[in-house]
Amino acid sequence: IGNARIGGMEKDLKLKPEDYSLAVLIFFVGYLLAEIPSNMLLTRLRPSLFIPFLTFSWGLVATLLSVVKTKEQLIGVRFVLGFMESGFFPGILFLLSSWYRRRELAKRLGIIFTASIMAGAFGGLLSGGVITGMDEVRGIRGWRWLFIIEGAITMLASIVVIFFMPDWPSNTKWLTAEQRALATARIAADRPARAHSTLNLTHLQAFKATVTDWRVYLFCLMDLMITSGTTISYFIPTITRTLGYTGQTAQFMTVPIYVCAFVGVLAISYSADFFKNRAFHVAIPTAVAGVTYAICTRVTNSEARYGLICIGYATNLGALPVLLAWLSKEINYPDSKRAVSQALVNSVGNSASIYGSFLWSDSPKFTNGFMANSIFCFTCALISIVGHILFIKFYSRMKSRSESDSRSSVDMQTTTGPLKENKTGCI
């Protein structure tokens, strides 16, 4: 939508800056409403069918953006688009965390994020070519063609992926029985509590277990801060235009920013898995991003500001897959609780776009946006360090309590003899 805006949509629909911000915002209202229910539903369905269905649906809705005539229609279609797209990312996160061990997850999530980043980079190239080269083809404006083409590509991809997307490790049909057993055993060895428990929560129980776990709120806050910092992405085409680039050049100049983000996300996520560390791979990148965004509030040179945006966006976004891998490490069982916690954290994070879309209205300097981003990033860095310390203390207390319970059980058996099972099999 950012590329469509500078490609003529704003003029054709007679949008004011606040109208565009509302169109960006309303997408996330629909997104937030459906995200948790969608992930709850996924735990009972086949991912190989449900996720492609969501993808096809939002591709279809995206094509409808090509026929909007008024700002009200734009806002309405954007709401439905967010509603249909909401289950995709938390669903992918839940699916990946069901296949990969905790120490393997960050780089896999990093790869997923790079796909999104490259879509942004490719979108810049595609937008520049389509908006300029297809303007008024068959009497249709270039920015409308952009929505038609991107929606059609999404729908086609959803059909193709049905044949390749797995279900769960225990029931993916195109794996052999030995491969399914190996996949299941890997996860069982990584999560002993899961392997030795038959706990199966209802949707309501999973939701209650999630919202009463204090750890979830720390992850919500960190995700909120990181995602608040990435709201700049919706205004990157606008910002590049204020740096002196115009027309097709402004579209193309968004590409290096996404390329830097591609490198940053892969480097940070691979490093997190290699060193088996999560907290500092959230704290350090967000602190670096905080510094670069703070400098942007003072720098007026276009080339310097452009370079700082590349660094800030790359390091800020690079912390996000690591954070989500950290979440899956800390809250990994029961499966239904993991699904709800992942959706809840992602929902809270995406709510940043509700207010984040209004931070970038003070063109051409965008001082408010850069200063806010700096505060968001520094806050996340601080919370990640505090959270790391709290988690260490939390698990230390749990270990001490477990050892104390074990000693009490041994002492009881020493004085009274071994405990015997009753007729129901209970001790």
420 pLDDT tier (thresholds 50, 70, 90): very low
**What is the DSSP-derived secondary structure letter of residue 140?**
B
Pairwise CA distance, residues 350 & 25, whole Å: 10
Angle in degrees, CA 329, 323, 214, rounded to 5: 65
Q: pLDDT digits over 53-62, tens only?
A: 999 999 999 9
> Using CA atoms in the order 61, 66, 68, 69, what is the torsion angle rounded to 10 degrees?
180
| pLDDT at site 323 | 98
Structure tokens at 383: 């919370």
pLDDT above 50: residue 416: no
Residue-level pLDDT at 365: 84
The CATH superfamily assigned to 2-165+204-398 is MFS general substrate transporter like domains (1.20.1250.20)
The stretch 307-311 carries a mean pLDDT of 94
Check pLDDT > 60 for residue 25.
Answer: yes
- Calculate the average pLDDT of the chain: 88
Q: Which helix (H) or strand (E) holds 125?
A: helix 105-133
Checking if the pLDDT of 193 tops 70, the result is: no
pLDDT interval class at 121 (50, 70, 90)? confident
Give 79-94 pLDDT, tens digit per residue: 999 999 999 999 999 9
pLDDT band at 404 (very low <50, low <70, confident <90, very high): low
Residues in the chain: 427
Report the percent of the chain where pLDDT is more than 90: 65
Query: Where are the chain's structural domains?
Result: 2-165+204-398
**Residue 407 confidence (pLDDT):** 57
Those residues with Cβ within 8 angstroms of residue 264's Cβ, 6 or more apart along the chain or in another chain: 285, 314, 315, 317, 318
Which of 1, 81, 97 shows the shortest CA–CA distance to 43?
97
427 pLDDT higher than 80: no
Can you tell me the distance from the alpha carbon of 412 to that of 336, in angstroms, rounded to the nearest whole number?
Answer: 36
- The residues near 165 (Cβ < 8 Å, ≥ 6 apart) are 47, 48, 51, 52
Average of per-residue pLDDT across 293-315: 93
CB atoms < 10 A from the CB of 221, how many? 18
* Cβ atoms within 10 Å, residue 18: 12
CB 371 within 8 A of CB 43: no
Structure token pair of residue 342: 């992942």
If one compares 118 and 278, the residue with the highest pLDDT of the two is 278
* Cross-strand partners of 137: 140
* Stretch 161-165: mean pLDDT: 93
**Which of 376, 377, 359 is CA-nearest to residue 368?**
359
Give the amino acid at 155: M
By CB neighbour count within 10 A (0-12 exposed, 13-18 middle, 19+ buried), where does 390 fall? Answer: middle
Is 155's pLDDT higher than 60?
yes
pLDDT digits (tens, 9 = 90+) for 330-342: 998 788 999 999 9
**For residue 412, pLDDT beyond 90:** no
Q: Is 163 exposed, middle or buried (0-12, 13-18, 19+ CB in 10 A)?
A: exposed
CA dist., res. 427 & res. 419, Å (int): 7
